[in-house]
Amino acid sequence: MDIATLILTNLNRVFPKPKRPCSRNPNPRNLITPTDPVTIDYFETQIKKGNVYARNLYLKHVDFKDKVVLDLGCHLGGATFTYSRMNVKLALGLEIETAYLFSAKRHIEVKYSDCDKLAFLGADATLIPLDSKSVDIVVANDFMEHVSDPEKAIQEALRVLKEGGYFFFEFPAYCSPRGYHMLYTLYPPWCHVFFSEDTLVKAARIVAAKENYFWVLQADWENRYRSGLNRLTIERFLNILLSQKSCELADLYFRSEYKLLQPLVYFRKMSEYLSYVECILRKRKGSSIQMEQIKNEKRKWIKKDWERLKKRLLKGWSNLIDIVL
């Protein structure tokens, strides 16, 4: 074992191990099947996340009633299923890994009956098999960092959107604390900033073997991991935004995984290492995104975050005074 791998595997012991979604199934061949408890748990978790996304973000901007909603990178389709129950005309889940869609369909057929407004597409998000201007809303959660060509995926999403339609998406910047996407195997934040990808892969294999984590021990895991991240940075993402036509920036927010570090995300060099990006685009003929709009969004959120911080500080002082007196 080389020195870097030894350091990382020992550093891994210092951090608490999260609950693994695949730890209960001893057979890796059955990890993604309609009856596997891991698949079922993950699907139900996606349902909850879909409700959170809709309640906290989407429905504040647009009503889903009688709309066609496209969910890019839907995985097992739990969130897509959630949207289908919001009085939509149709909820479409698009996923390039068709095995996930097979599991989703079978699980929904067995457990749920109200799925007449739900459909799935096995396709690449850079070449969406839908007509132009055929969709009212596009969503993409934890997807943009995985797609082979983020710029093409955004262009395709805007192409299929109707005039005035919304595109909601969020993703972690590659250098953010968990941007390396191994949180169930390697637990220290910013692993990929301090160690090479080769070291990450070797350390993950060692940890997985010791802790009997079968998902990482599959023969094709390394290839899937290396090809599954496009290393999308905030700088590259902003350049992609500035190159888009026929859309306007409805909202842009950089969120830190660690609340105490939120004020630092507005410093240009720090945002790459802290931020989870939340973005909303609206299709608008003749519009384009300018750097000044991006700066205005940043100023808006600095003001809102500062107001939140002041309220927390005032509440904290008030509680302290009550205790003392």
Dump pLDDT digits (tens) for 195-225.
999 999 999 999 988 887 777 887 888 998 9
Q: How many domains does the chain have?
A: 1
Paired strand residues for 249: 281
Paired strand residues for 90: 68
- Dump the DSSP string for 307-323: HHHHHHHHHHHHHHHHH
Strands (DSSP E) contained in the chain are: 68-72, 90-95, 118-122, 135-141, 161-172, 245-256, 275-288
Q: What is the mean pLDDT of residues 226-244?
A: 94
Confidence label for 259 from pLDDT (cuts 50, 70 and 90): confident
Residue with tokens 């349902």: 47
Dump pLDDT digits (tens) for 54-100.
998 999 999 999 999 999 999 888 999 999 999 999 999 999 988 88
Residue with tokens 């060692």: 206
Confidence label for 255 from pLDDT (cuts 50, 70 and 90): very high
Q: What is the CATH number of the domain that holds 119?
A: 3.40.50.150
| Residue predicted with more confidence, 322 or 273 | 273
Q: What is the mean pLDDT of residues 230-246?
A: 94
Q: What is the pLDDT of residue 212?
A: 77
The answer on pLDDT for 34 being more than 80 is no
Mean of all residue pLDDT scores within the chain: 88
The amino acid at 294: I
Among candidates 186, 177, 236, 237, which has minimal Cα distance to 211?
186
Confidence label for 325 from pLDDT (cuts 50, 70 and 90): very low
Q: What is the pLDDT of residue 64?
A: 95
Residues near 21 by Cβ (< 8 Å), separated by ≥ 6? Answer: 38, 41, 42, 45, 184
Residues near 161 by Cβ (< 8 Å), separated by ≥ 6? Answer: 133, 135, 136, 137, 138, 167, 283
Among candidates 311, 141, 146, which has minimal Cα distance to 225?
146
Please give the angle made by the CA atoms of 242, 244 and 250, to the nearest 5 degrees.
80
Among candidates 155, 171, 298, 154, which has minimal Cα distance to 231?
171
Dump pLDDT digits (tens) for 98-125.
888 887 887 787 777 767 899 999 999 9
Q: What is the pLDDT of residue 187?
A: 93
Domain extent, residue 7, equals 3-324
Q: What is the pLDDT of residue 62?
A: 95
Q: What is the pLDDT of residue 32?
A: 57
CA terminus-to-terminus distance, the chain: 59
243 vs 63, 126, 188, 287, CA distance in Å?
28, 16, 35, 11
The answer on pLDDT for 132 being more than 90 is yes
Confidence label for 19 from pLDDT (cuts 50, 70 and 90): confident
Among candidates 213, 217, 182, 184, which has minimal Cα distance to 25?
213
| Residue predicted with more confidence, 110 or 274 | 274
